[in-house]
Amino acid sequence: MATFLARRLLWFIPVLFVVALITFVLMKAAPGGPWDRDAESKQVDPRTMELLARKYGLDKPAWRQFIGYLVGDFDDEGQFVCGAVCGNLGPSYRQRGKTVQQILFEPPPEKGFFDSKFGHTARLAVLALVIALAVGIPAGVFSALKQNSWLDYALTFITNIGIAVPSFVVAFFSILIFAVGLKWMPVVQKSWAGLTPFIIPAIVFGFGTMAQTARLMRSTMLDVMRQDYVRTARAKGLGEQAVIWKHMLRNALIPIITTLGPAVAGLLTGSIVIENIFGVPGVGRDFIQSIGNRDYSMIMGTTLFYVILILLGNLSVDLLYGVVDPRIRVD
């Protein structure tokens, strides 16, 4: 177990290094710097540019900037400033005086952590996952228990649609239905306090995961229902409810956990687009804005942050899998 964990954590290092390298090389290949988007239309005079470049260490050779970003470098006074390994994602080029980690995690004054950029993203993703599982699992179970009934056909049809149509498209449909048609919400939400404004975006966002969960749940339930141990449970006179809850459901839930890893990863990165469509003030919307502003340190920092989240998500699901199913040993 310990060796498994250590090996998986060590594997993070090359992955993050390669991602950082790719991001860094791409940013260097982009024409224009963070202060002038077009090489042709200089917006900042050369003298200021030189000072800015020195301030952010952009006058140093590229390899040193890269190492400095990842590990750390000495500043003008000879003081060592730790880099990304210490969680320091560097100063934002556009939002002066703020570091990338401050922009991502620091809530506005007198607000809690869940009002920070990441707090909004987390609220959306967690709510989406909870709704997806809370609806998807029972839907799959009912489909399987009432196999070939009209309920099963209806649920399977919705499931197929949910798997086929990406959340990007579902989001536009939902805005047309709930904002333009029914007027349950404004097209652009003004307040994101509490959970209520997140409900419709979260349903849209979790729709694909919901459909996949329902489909998998249905097929594993159908499989489990025909197992010998279920027949044994019935043969010894156990009530139908106990058979369903204790024998079928517990075993059928195991495969769902394997799909959680990709689902969480999809929810985290999918939020880039969903946040943008619904105007959720989270990490994803900020990412798109920093792309428009060519705020390179922000782009790089957010990318690394996303990849760490996904790596941790996949790892925790692997660990969880070993806990839930004793037949699988992680070592």
Partner 1 sequence: MAQATPSLSRSATAAAPAIASQSQRQLAWRRLRRNRAALIGGIVVTIYLLTALFASSLAPHNPIKDYGASKAFLPPFWQPESPAGKTYDPTFPLGTDQQGRDVLSRILYGTRTSIVAGVLPVTIVVLIGTTLGFVSGYLGGGADNLLMRITDIFYAVPTELLLILVMVTLGDTALGKAANGVPLFLIALSAVSWSGLARLMRGSALSLKNLAFVEAAQSLGASDFHIISRHILPNSVGVLVVWIAFAIPRFIIAEAILGYIGLGLRPSLNPNDFFITSWGRLFLDAYSIIGSQPGFLLAVTAVVSLLVISFTFLGDGLRDALDPRMKK
Min dist CB 275 to partner 1, Å, is: 11
Give the footprint of partner 1 on residues 52-71 (CB under 8 A): none
Does 272 contact partner 1 by CB under 8 A? yes
- Shortest spacing between CB 265 and partner 1, in angstroms: 7
Residue 144 in tokens:
């399987």
Amino acid at 27: M
Range in contact with partner 1 (rule: CB under 8 A) among 43-51, 91-99, 189-197, 261-269: 261-269
Q: Which of 1, 5, 9, 30 binds partner 1 (CB under 8 A)?
A: 30
Tokens of 272: 């880039």
Residue 145 or 163 having the CB closest to partner 1: 163
- The Cα–Cα gap between 34 and 265 comes to 30
Residue with tokens 């957010």: 302
8 A C-beta contact, residue 210 and residue 132: yes
Residue 1 vs 22, nearer CB to partner 1: 22
Taken in order 99, 100, 101, 102, is the CA torsion positive or negative? positive
Interface with partner 1 includes 219 (CB under 8 A)?
yes
Q: CA 174, 306, 290, 52: dihedral to nearest 10 degrees?
A: 170
Longest dimension (CA), the chain: 87
Cβ pair 50, 65 in contact under 8 A: no
Q: Specify the residue, 11 or 229, whose C-beta has the smaller distance to partner 1.
A: 11
**8 Å CB contact between 53 and 59:** yes
Residues 110 to 129: which contact partner 1 by CB under 8 A? none
Report, in Å, the least distance between residue 84 CB and partner 1: 16
Environment class of 28 (CB within 10 Å of its CB; exposed 0-12, middle 13-18, buried 19+): exposed
Q: Does residue number 9 form part of the binding site for partner 1 (CB under 8 A)? A: no
Contacts to partner 1 from residues 133-192, by CB under 8 A: 160-161, 163-166, 168-169, 172-173, 175-176, 180, 187
Q: By CB under 8 A, is residue 269 in contact with partner 1?
A: yes
Q: Hey, CA dihedral for 305, 86, 120, 314, is it positive or negative?
A: positive
Contact 320, 116 (CB under 8 A): no
Residue 141 vs 233, nearer CB to partner 1: 141
Of 9, 38, 82, 245, the one binding partner 1 by CB under 8 A: 38
Residue ranges that bind partner 1, judged by CB under 8 A: 11, 14-15, 18-19, 22-23, 26-27, 29-32, 37-38, 160-161, 163-166, 168-169, 172-173, 175-176, 180, 187, 219, 265-266, 269-270, 272-273, 276-277, 287-288, 291-292, 294, 299, 303, 306-307, 310-311, 314
